[in-house]
Amino acid sequence: MAVLKVKFTKTKRDKLAQILWILNWVSVVSGIILFSLGLFLKIEIKKRNEVMAKGDINSVPNMLISVGVIACVVNFLGGKICYDCSDANKFSRWKLIMLPYIICTFCFTFCILLGALMCYTMRNELEESLYLGLRNAIKFYKDTDIPGRCFLKKTVDMLQIGFQCCGNNGFRDWFEVQWVSARYLNMASKEVMDRFKSNVDGKFLVDGVPFSCCNPSSPRPCIQYQLTNNSAHYNYDFLTEELNIWMKGCREALLDYYTAIMRSIGIAALLIWLFELSVLIGVRYLQTAMKNVLLQGDLQSESDGWLLENSFMETAKYNINIIKNLGKANQISTVSSMNDPNINVQNTNCGKSNATAKSIPAAT
Protein backbone atom coordinates (compact mmCIF):
# COMPACT_ATOMS: atom_id res chain seq x y z
CA MET A 1 0.00 0.00 0.00
CA ALA A 2 1.39 3.39 -1.04
CA VAL A 3 2.25 5.91 1.68
CA LEU A 4 0.43 9.29 1.54
CA LYS A 5 -1.10 8.67 -1.87
CA VAL A 6 -2.62 11.72 -3.63
CA LYS A 7 -4.59 11.95 -6.90
CA PHE A 8 -3.42 14.50 -9.47
CA THR A 9 -5.30 15.79 -12.49
CA LYS A 10 -3.34 17.24 -15.40
CA THR A 11 -4.05 20.76 -14.13
CA LYS A 12 -2.75 19.88 -10.64
CA ARG A 13 0.37 18.27 -12.13
CA ASP A 14 1.10 21.36 -14.20
CA LYS A 15 0.57 23.68 -11.22
CA LEU A 16 2.76 21.50 -9.01
CA ALA A 17 5.52 21.57 -11.64
CA GLN A 18 5.32 25.37 -11.89
CA ILE A 19 5.33 25.86 -8.10
CA LEU A 20 8.29 23.50 -7.69
CA TRP A 21 10.16 25.34 -10.46
CA ILE A 22 9.78 28.58 -8.47
CA LEU A 23 10.65 26.90 -5.16
CA ASN A 24 13.81 25.38 -6.62
CA TRP A 25 14.98 28.85 -7.59
CA VAL A 26 14.20 29.98 -4.03
CA SER A 27 16.31 27.01 -2.90
CA VAL A 28 19.17 28.28 -5.07
CA VAL A 29 18.95 31.54 -3.09
CA SER A 30 18.95 29.53 0.16
CA GLY A 31 22.12 27.80 -1.04
CA ILE A 32 23.71 31.22 -1.57
CA ILE A 33 22.62 32.16 1.97
CA LEU A 34 24.26 29.01 3.39
CA PHE A 35 27.43 29.79 1.46
CA SER A 36 27.41 33.37 2.75
CA LEU A 37 26.85 32.30 6.37
CA GLY A 38 29.71 29.81 6.18
CA LEU A 39 31.98 32.44 4.62
CA PHE A 40 31.00 34.99 7.29
CA LEU A 41 31.78 32.52 10.10
CA LYS A 42 35.11 31.61 8.50
CA ILE A 43 36.09 35.30 8.28
CA GLU A 44 35.07 35.93 11.91
CA ILE A 45 37.19 33.00 13.06
CA LYS A 46 40.12 34.18 10.94
CA LYS A 47 39.95 37.64 12.54
CA ARG A 48 40.93 36.14 15.93
CA ASN A 49 43.16 33.44 14.52
CA GLU A 50 46.13 34.74 16.56
CA VAL A 51 44.38 33.91 19.85
CA MET A 52 43.14 30.48 18.78
CA ALA A 53 45.04 27.22 18.76
CA LYS A 54 45.09 25.20 15.58
CA GLY A 55 42.28 22.65 15.42
CA ASP A 56 39.12 21.59 13.61
CA ILE A 57 37.24 24.81 14.33
CA ASN A 58 37.04 25.56 10.59
CA SER A 59 35.10 22.34 9.94
CA VAL A 60 31.72 24.05 10.47
CA PRO A 61 32.27 27.01 8.10
CA ASN A 62 33.86 24.70 5.52
CA MET A 63 30.84 22.40 5.78
CA LEU A 64 28.40 25.28 5.30
CA ILE A 65 30.35 26.66 2.33
CA SER A 66 30.44 23.24 0.63
CA VAL A 67 26.76 22.56 1.29
CA GLY A 68 25.82 26.00 -0.01
CA VAL A 69 27.65 25.46 -3.32
CA ILE A 70 26.14 21.98 -3.76
CA ALA A 71 22.67 23.36 -2.94
CA CYS A 72 22.94 25.89 -5.74
CA VAL A 73 23.91 23.20 -8.28
CA VAL A 74 21.34 20.63 -7.11
CA ASN A 75 18.44 23.07 -6.99
CA PHE A 76 19.35 24.61 -10.35
CA LEU A 77 19.11 21.11 -11.86
CA GLY A 78 15.87 20.50 -9.93
CA GLY A 79 14.38 23.69 -11.35
CA LYS A 80 15.18 22.54 -14.90
CA ILE A 81 13.62 19.12 -14.25
CA CYS A 82 10.44 20.60 -12.74
CA TYR A 83 10.11 23.07 -15.62
CA ASP A 84 10.24 20.20 -18.16
CA CYS A 85 7.75 18.14 -16.12
CA SER A 86 4.92 20.39 -17.30
CA ASP A 87 5.37 18.70 -20.70
CA ALA A 88 5.10 14.89 -20.72
CA ASN A 89 7.28 14.63 -23.81
CA LYS A 90 10.09 16.57 -22.16
CA PHE A 91 9.65 14.59 -18.93
CA SER A 92 10.49 11.34 -20.73
CA ARG A 93 14.15 12.33 -21.00
CA TRP A 94 14.32 12.92 -17.23
CA LYS A 95 12.33 9.81 -16.33
CA LEU A 96 15.36 7.61 -15.55
CA ILE A 97 17.26 10.40 -13.83
CA MET A 98 14.57 11.65 -11.45
CA LEU A 99 14.63 8.79 -8.94
CA PRO A 100 18.46 8.84 -8.51
CA TYR A 101 18.22 12.64 -8.32
CA ILE A 102 15.65 12.40 -5.51
CA ILE A 103 17.74 9.85 -3.60
CA CYS A 104 20.92 11.94 -3.91
CA THR A 105 19.05 15.12 -2.92
CA PHE A 106 17.55 13.31 0.08
CA CYS A 107 21.06 12.39 1.26
CA PHE A 108 22.22 15.93 0.55
CA THR A 109 19.49 17.44 2.75
CA PHE A 110 20.95 15.50 5.67
CA CYS A 111 24.26 17.26 5.03
CA ILE A 112 22.41 20.53 5.65
CA LEU A 113 20.97 19.08 8.86
CA LEU A 114 24.44 17.90 9.88
CA GLY A 115 25.85 21.38 9.27
CA ALA A 116 23.09 22.88 11.43
CA LEU A 117 23.76 20.43 14.27
CA MET A 118 27.52 21.04 14.06
CA CYS A 119 26.86 24.70 14.86
CA TYR A 120 25.58 23.58 18.27
CA THR A 121 28.29 20.97 18.95
CA MET A 122 31.26 23.19 18.06
CA ARG A 123 31.30 25.00 21.41
CA ASN A 124 33.61 22.56 23.23
CA GLU A 125 36.21 22.55 20.43
CA LEU A 126 36.07 26.33 20.22
CA GLU A 127 36.46 26.71 23.99
CA GLU A 128 39.56 24.52 24.04
CA SER A 129 41.04 26.36 21.06
CA LEU A 130 40.45 29.75 22.70
CA TYR A 131 41.88 28.58 26.03
CA LEU A 132 45.15 27.37 24.48
CA GLY A 133 45.44 30.28 22.06
CA LEU A 134 44.82 32.98 24.67
CA ARG A 135 47.20 31.30 27.10
CA ASN A 136 50.01 31.47 24.53
CA ALA A 137 49.11 35.02 23.49
CA ILE A 138 49.30 36.26 27.10
CA LYS A 139 52.53 34.32 27.63
CA PHE A 140 54.21 36.04 24.66
CA TYR A 141 52.59 39.46 25.24
CA LYS A 142 55.94 41.00 26.22
CA ASP A 143 57.84 39.75 23.14
CA THR A 144 57.37 42.92 21.09
CA ASP A 145 60.87 42.68 19.58
CA ILE A 146 60.71 39.00 18.53
CA PRO A 147 59.63 38.26 14.92
CA GLY A 148 56.43 36.23 14.77
CA ARG A 149 55.27 37.48 18.18
CA CYS A 150 55.65 41.24 17.93
CA PHE A 151 51.98 41.62 16.91
CA LEU A 152 50.57 39.78 19.93
CA LYS A 153 50.66 42.78 22.30
CA LYS A 154 48.51 44.87 19.97
CA THR A 155 46.23 41.90 19.26
CA VAL A 156 45.61 41.19 22.96
CA ASP A 157 45.17 44.87 23.84
CA MET A 158 42.64 45.44 21.04
CA LEU A 159 40.85 42.24 22.02
CA GLN A 160 40.54 43.26 25.68
CA ILE A 161 39.34 46.76 24.76
CA GLY A 162 36.89 45.56 22.10
CA PHE A 163 35.35 42.71 24.09
CA GLN A 164 35.67 44.42 27.50
CA CYS A 165 37.56 41.50 29.02
CA CYS A 166 40.82 40.85 30.85
CA GLY A 167 43.07 37.80 30.75
CA ASN A 168 42.14 34.29 29.71
CA ASN A 169 39.87 33.24 32.56
CA GLY A 170 40.10 36.57 34.37
CA PHE A 171 42.44 39.41 35.36
CA ARG A 172 44.44 37.15 37.72
CA ASP A 173 45.96 35.38 34.70
CA TRP A 174 48.26 38.39 34.29
CA PHE A 175 49.66 37.78 37.78
CA GLU A 176 51.11 34.44 36.62
CA VAL A 177 53.12 35.64 33.60
CA GLN A 178 55.82 38.21 33.01
CA TRP A 179 54.04 40.59 30.66
CA VAL A 180 56.59 43.45 30.90
CA SER A 181 59.65 43.00 28.67
CA ALA A 182 63.06 43.00 30.34
CA ARG A 183 64.18 45.82 28.04
CA TYR A 184 61.79 48.15 29.90
CA LEU A 185 62.96 47.14 33.38
CA ASN A 186 65.71 48.89 35.33
CA MET A 187 68.06 46.05 36.19
CA ALA A 188 70.00 48.36 38.51
CA SER A 189 66.96 48.69 40.75
CA LYS A 190 67.02 46.56 43.88
CA GLU A 191 63.24 46.17 43.83
CA VAL A 192 63.32 44.78 40.29
CA MET A 193 66.13 42.35 41.07
CA ASP A 194 64.38 41.22 44.25
CA ARG A 195 61.29 40.35 42.20
CA PHE A 196 63.40 38.33 39.79
CA LYS A 197 65.06 36.47 42.65
CA SER A 198 61.80 35.84 44.49
CA ASN A 199 60.46 33.80 41.60
CA VAL A 200 61.77 30.26 41.09
CA ASP A 201 61.55 30.62 37.30
CA GLY A 202 63.37 33.97 37.36
CA LYS A 203 60.37 35.95 36.07
CA PHE A 204 59.30 39.49 36.88
CA LEU A 205 55.80 38.88 38.24
CA VAL A 206 53.57 41.69 39.49
CA ASP A 207 50.00 41.92 40.71
CA GLY A 208 49.10 44.20 37.83
CA VAL A 209 47.40 44.13 34.45
CA PRO A 210 47.93 45.92 31.09
CA PHE A 211 46.18 49.24 30.48
CA SER A 212 43.71 47.55 28.10
CA CYS A 213 42.07 45.87 31.10
CA CYS A 214 40.93 49.21 32.50
CA ASN A 215 37.23 50.01 32.49
CA PRO A 216 36.76 53.60 31.24
CA SER A 217 33.28 53.74 32.78
CA SER A 218 34.74 53.60 36.28
CA PRO A 219 34.68 57.00 38.08
CA ARG A 220 38.00 56.24 39.76
CA PRO A 221 41.30 56.50 37.84
CA CYS A 222 42.38 53.07 36.72
CA ILE A 223 44.31 51.03 39.26
CA GLN A 224 46.28 48.54 37.21
CA TYR A 225 49.30 47.97 39.48
CA GLN A 226 49.46 46.56 43.01
CA LEU A 227 45.86 45.43 42.75
CA THR A 228 46.12 43.26 45.86
CA ASN A 229 47.97 45.87 47.99
CA ASN A 230 45.40 47.92 49.93
CA SER A 231 48.05 50.20 51.46
CA ALA A 232 49.31 51.29 48.05
CA HIS A 233 46.08 53.15 47.26
CA TYR A 234 43.97 55.60 49.23
CA ASN A 235 40.53 54.45 50.35
CA TYR A 236 40.94 51.10 48.63
CA ASP A 237 39.97 47.57 49.64
CA PHE A 238 40.85 44.82 47.22
CA LEU A 239 38.40 42.30 48.68
CA THR A 240 35.32 44.49 49.03
CA GLU A 241 35.62 47.26 46.47
CA GLU A 242 34.55 46.71 42.89
CA LEU A 243 37.69 46.91 40.78
CA ASN A 244 37.79 49.34 37.88
CA ILE A 245 39.10 46.75 35.46
CA TRP A 246 37.19 44.26 33.34
CA MET A 247 36.23 41.22 35.39
CA LYS A 248 35.19 38.87 32.59
CA GLY A 249 37.85 36.68 30.97
CA CYS A 250 38.42 37.00 27.24
CA ARG A 251 37.80 33.28 26.68
CA GLU A 252 34.29 33.61 28.07
CA ALA A 253 33.66 36.83 26.12
CA LEU A 254 34.80 35.34 22.81
CA LEU A 255 32.97 32.11 23.47
CA ASP A 256 29.72 33.99 24.07
CA TYR A 257 30.29 36.01 20.90
CA TYR A 258 30.88 32.99 18.66
CA THR A 259 28.15 30.95 20.33
CA ALA A 260 25.59 33.64 19.52
CA ILE A 261 26.73 33.68 15.88
CA MET A 262 26.63 29.89 15.56
CA ARG A 263 23.20 29.64 17.16
CA SER A 264 21.82 32.12 14.62
CA ILE A 265 23.49 30.24 11.75
CA GLY A 266 22.23 26.93 13.15
CA ILE A 267 18.62 28.19 13.24
CA ALA A 268 18.95 29.51 9.66
CA ALA A 269 20.40 26.18 8.48
CA LEU A 270 17.58 24.23 10.18
CA LEU A 271 14.94 26.40 8.45
CA ILE A 272 16.68 25.91 5.11
CA TRP A 273 16.78 22.15 5.73
CA LEU A 274 13.03 22.05 6.40
CA PHE A 275 12.40 24.10 3.26
CA GLU A 276 14.64 21.84 1.13
CA LEU A 277 12.90 18.77 2.55
CA SER A 278 9.45 20.14 1.68
CA VAL A 279 10.59 20.91 -1.88
CA LEU A 280 12.00 17.38 -2.17
CA ILE A 281 8.66 15.91 -1.06
CA GLY A 282 6.93 17.92 -3.78
CA VAL A 283 9.42 16.67 -6.38
CA ARG A 284 8.78 13.09 -5.27
CA TYR A 285 5.01 13.54 -5.73
CA LEU A 286 5.60 15.05 -9.17
CA GLN A 287 7.92 12.22 -10.20
CA THR A 288 5.51 9.44 -9.20
CA ALA A 289 2.48 11.23 -10.71
CA MET A 290 4.26 11.73 -14.06
CA LYS A 291 5.56 8.17 -14.04
CA ASN A 292 2.07 6.76 -13.50
CA VAL A 293 0.45 8.93 -16.19
CA LEU A 294 3.03 7.70 -18.71
CA LEU A 295 2.25 4.09 -17.73
CA GLN A 296 -1.45 4.74 -18.31
CA GLY A 297 -0.76 6.11 -21.78
CA ASP A 298 -3.33 8.92 -21.47
CA LEU A 299 -1.57 12.19 -20.72
CA GLN A 300 -4.83 13.95 -19.87
CA SER A 301 -5.99 11.41 -17.28
CA GLU A 302 -5.65 11.45 -13.52
CA SER A 303 -2.68 9.75 -11.88
CA ASP A 304 -1.60 8.81 -8.37
CA GLY A 305 1.40 10.27 -6.63
CA TRP A 306 2.97 9.05 -3.41
CA LEU A 307 6.00 9.30 -1.16
CA LEU A 308 6.63 5.54 -0.96
CA GLU A 309 5.15 2.89 -3.22
CA ASN A 310 4.97 0.46 -0.28
CA SER A 311 4.74 0.90 3.48
CA PHE A 312 7.73 2.02 5.52
CA MET A 313 8.36 -1.51 6.82
CA GLU A 314 8.13 -3.10 3.39
CA THR A 315 10.43 -0.47 1.91
CA ALA A 316 12.94 -0.97 4.73
CA LYS A 317 12.88 -4.78 4.30
CA TYR A 318 13.27 -4.42 0.56
CA ASN A 319 16.34 -2.17 0.91
CA ILE A 320 17.86 -4.44 3.59
CA ASN A 321 17.43 -7.45 1.29
CA ILE A 322 19.16 -5.55 -1.51
CA ILE A 323 22.11 -4.82 0.78
CA LYS A 324 22.25 -8.47 1.92
CA ASN A 325 22.13 -9.75 -1.66
CA LEU A 326 24.94 -7.39 -2.61
CA GLY A 327 27.00 -8.81 0.26
CA LYS A 328 26.25 -12.41 -0.75
CA ALA A 329 27.09 -11.65 -4.38
CA ASN A 330 30.43 -10.23 -3.27
CA GLN A 331 31.15 -13.37 -1.18
CA ILE A 332 30.22 -15.69 -4.07
CA SER A 333 32.44 -13.70 -6.40
CA THR A 334 35.36 -14.00 -3.95
CA VAL A 335 34.87 -17.76 -3.40
CA SER A 336 34.55 -18.38 -7.15
CA SER A 337 37.79 -16.52 -7.75
CA MET A 338 39.53 -18.65 -5.12
CA ASN A 339 38.27 -21.92 -6.66
CA ASP A 340 38.88 -20.95 -10.29
CA PRO A 341 41.37 -23.54 -11.72
CA ASN A 342 42.53 -21.05 -14.34
CA ILE A 343 43.91 -18.64 -11.72
CA ASN A 344 47.53 -18.88 -10.55
CA VAL A 345 48.29 -21.84 -12.88
CA GLN A 346 51.96 -21.87 -13.83
CA ASN A 347 52.81 -22.23 -17.47
CA THR A 348 55.31 -25.09 -17.78
CA ASN A 349 55.97 -24.46 -21.45
CA CYS A 350 57.34 -20.97 -21.09
CA GLY A 351 60.82 -22.05 -22.10
CA LYS A 352 62.01 -23.93 -25.14
CA SER A 353 60.43 -27.36 -25.53
CA ASN A 354 62.70 -30.42 -25.08
CA ALA A 355 60.46 -32.71 -27.10
CA THR A 356 61.85 -33.87 -30.45
CA ALA A 357 59.84 -32.48 -33.30
CA LYS A 358 58.49 -35.05 -35.75
CA SER A 359 59.54 -34.60 -39.36
CA ILE A 360 56.80 -33.94 -41.84
CA PRO A 361 57.17 -36.01 -45.02
CA ALA A 362 57.56 -33.93 -48.09
CA ALA A 363 54.82 -34.04 -50.67
CA THR A 364 55.61 -36.08 -53.73
The answer to whether position 329 is within a domain reads no
Identify the band that residue 88 occupies on the pLDDT scale cut at 50, 70 and 90. Answer: low
Same domain, 207 and 89: no
Whether residue 345 lies inside any domain: the answer is: no
Residue at a domain's end among 203, 228, 247: 247
The conformation of residue 167, written as its DSSP 8-state character, comes to: S
Amino acid code (one letter) for 97: I
Render pLDDT for 244-296 as a digit per residue (tens, 0 to 9): 889 899 999 999 999 999 999 999 999 999 999 999 998 888 888 888 877 77
Residue ending a domain, choose from 197, 218, 247: 247
- DSSP secondary structure code for residue 248 in this structure: S
pLDDT per position as a tens digit, 57-82: 888 999 999 999 999 999 998 888 88
Express each pLDDT in 161-215 by its tens digit. 999 999 999 999 999 998 988 888 877 788 878 777 777 677 888 888 999 999 8
Is there a domain that residue 155 lies in? no
Predicted structure pTM score: 0.77
Cβ contacts of residue 165 below 8 Å, gap of 6+? 159, 246, 248, 249, 250, 252, 253, 254
Q: How far apart are CA 294 and CA 72, in angstroms?
A: 30
Task: Count how many residues are written for the chain.
Answer: 364
Q: What is the mean pLDDT of the segment spanning 222-245?
A: 80
With a cut of 70, say whether residue 326 has pLDDT above it.
no
Same domain, 34 and 131: yes
- Do 236 and 275 belong to one domain? no
**Per the structure, how many domains does the chain have?**
2
- Judge contact between 314 and 299, C-beta under 8 A: no
Query: Which stretches within 53-181 are classed as H helix?
Result: 59-84, 88-91, 95-121, 123-139, 152-163
Residue 134 three-state SS: helix
Q: Can you give the pLDDT at residue 196?
A: 76
Instruction: Of 259, 305, 254, give the one whose Cα is nearest residue 284.
Output: 305
Whether residue 323 is contained in a domain is answered as no
pLDDT reported for residue 173:
93
Same domain, 240 and 279: no
Report the distance separating Cα 64 and Cα 66, nearest Å: 5
One domain, residues 8 and 45: yes
Same domain, 61 and 83: yes
Query: Mean pLDDT over residues 12-21, rounded?
Result: 87
Residues 270 and 133 in one domain: yes
What pLDDT does residue 315 have? 65
Residue after which a domain boundary falls, among 247, 263, 287: 247
Whether residues 34 and 103 share a domain: the answer is yes
Q: Nearest to residue 201, comparing CAs of 224, 229, 172, 178? A: 178
Same domain, 63 and 208: no
Percent of the chain predicted with pLDDT > 70: 82
How far apart, in whole angstroms, are the C-alpha atoms of residue 177 and residue 162? 22
- 20 with 130, same domain: the answer is yes
Contact at 8 Å (CB) between 179 and 141?
yes
Residue 349 in any domain: the answer is no
- 301 and 215 within one domain: no
Select from 102, 42, 109 the least CA-distant residue to 269. Answer: 109
User: Domain containing 257: what range?
Assistant: 3-139+252-306
Maximum alpha-carbon separation in the chain? 139
Instruction: Judge whether 9 lies within some domain.
Output: yes
Question: What value does the mean pLDDT of the chain take?
Answer: 81
Q: Are residues 36 and 135 in the same domain?
A: yes
- Do the domain assignments include residue 206? yes
Helices (H), 122-222: 123-139, 152-163, 190-198
Residue 144 lies in a domain: no
Whether 340 has a pLDDT exceeding 60, the answer reads no
Q: What is the mean pLDDT of residues 145-172?
A: 91
